[in-house]
């Protein structure tokens, strides 16, 4: 019997089944090592923030609080005593702190059609608390200088100098948290400290020309 005759006795393969098998082999699935569509983006969105981002957020809040403290000190009048001035700065910072956190929660959670839980609120308040805590050392310098007999204006100037040093430190720490090179860290620190220098110069002008 010839090969043609023996092959003629076998059934012909189903063309639809052959086409389906070829299409399945041509399309790689999850078993081939490729993740399902959208899984990477979903994991990224749901994942926690890196430590550098959280540290940078705290330092940014510290810079913000120090600038607010310095701005109030720089424009304070000579007849405003240290204790009322300290109380007004702390009150102002607490209002800014709560208002910023409230607006951030509105943007992050209400936009998605849900209310934030107590855990999210507490975590957000803790991240931005340095905005209020940044006033500690400038206000301590203010009250100590006043206790040792300095005038209100010179006490405020001493507090501003402390605030300028804190801005320099905050800028350096923020640059380091962002893994910048040493030169870039120094540049960020100097630019941040420049804001403190402006407030010190403003206070000196107030001392020498307006009073």
Residues 6+ apart with CB under 8 A from 133: 62, 65
DSSP state of 185: H
pLDDT at 148 over 80: yes
Whole-angstrom distance, CA of residue 86 vs CA of residue 82: 6
SS3 call for 110: helix
CA distance 168 to 159: 14
pLDDT reading at 22 higher than 80: no
Q: How far apart are CA 138 and CA 140, in angstroms?
A: 5
C-alpha 103/C-alpha 30 separation (Å) is: 41
DSSP string, 137-201: HHHHHHHHHHHTT--HHHHHHHHHHHHHHHHHHHHHHHHHHTT--HHHHHHHHHHHHHHHHHHHH
Q: List pLDDT tens digits, range 59-80.
A: 888 999 999 999 888 888 777 7
Contact in structure between 171 and 63 (CB atoms under 8 Å)? yes
47-61, 120-134, 151-165, 195-209, range with the lowest pLDDT: 47-61
What pLDDT, on a 0 to 100 scale, did the predictor assign at position 76? 81
pLDDT tens digits along 85-140: 899 999 999 999 999 888 887 777 666 677 777 888 888 888 889 999 999 999 99
Per-residue tokens: 154: 């010179």
């Amino acid at each position: 019997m010839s090969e043609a005759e023996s092959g003629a006795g076998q059934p012909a393969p189903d063309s639809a089944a052959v086409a389906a098998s070829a299409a399945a082999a041509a399309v790689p699935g999850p078993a081939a090592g490729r993740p399902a569509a959208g899984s990477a983006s979903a994991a990224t969105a749901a994942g926690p923030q890196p430590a550098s981002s959280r540290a940078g957020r705290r330092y940014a809040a510290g810079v913000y609080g120090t600038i607010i403290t310095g701005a109030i000190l720089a424009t304070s009048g000579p007849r405003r005593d240290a204790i009322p001035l300290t109380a007004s700065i702390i009150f102002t910072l607490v209002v800014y702190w709560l208002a910023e956190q409230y607006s951030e929660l509105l943007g992050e959670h209400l936009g998605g059609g849900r209310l934030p839980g107590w855990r999210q609120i507490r975590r957000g308040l803790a991240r931005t608390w340095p905005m209020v805590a940044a006033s500690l050392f400038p206000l301590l310098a203010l009250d100590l200088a006043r206790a040792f007999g300095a005038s209100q204006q010179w006490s405020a100037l001493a507090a501003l100098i402390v605030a300028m040093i804190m801005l320099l430190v905050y800028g350096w720490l923020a640059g380091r948290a962002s893994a910048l090179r040493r030169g870039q860290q120094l540049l960020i620190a100097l630019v941040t400290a420049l804001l403190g220098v402006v407030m010190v110069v403003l206070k000196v002008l107030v001392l020498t020309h307006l009073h």
